[in-house]
Amino acid sequence: MRFISETSSDGVREQLFTLGEIPGVLWTPEGSATTRPLIVIGHGGGRHKKAPRSWPSHTAS
């Protein structure tokens, strides 16, 4: 795993990384010195990993 960049905003540290050819993002509280559990979520592609979620809305007719 190789970290590419790190930024902080609104109390959240964001670190972009690659694991082989696979890109990822790690978000942690800014200034945290202890370890925390890691939750890994895959996505189906087509959107950037940092894009906000948009759930499809279906209405019954």
pLDDT tens digits for range 10-45: 988 888 888 888 888 888 888 877 877 776 766 666
Q: How far apart are CA 29 and CA 10, in angstroms?
A: 9
pLDDT at 20: 86
Which pLDDT band holds residue 61 (cuts at 50, 70, 90)? Answer: very low
pLDDT at 48: 66
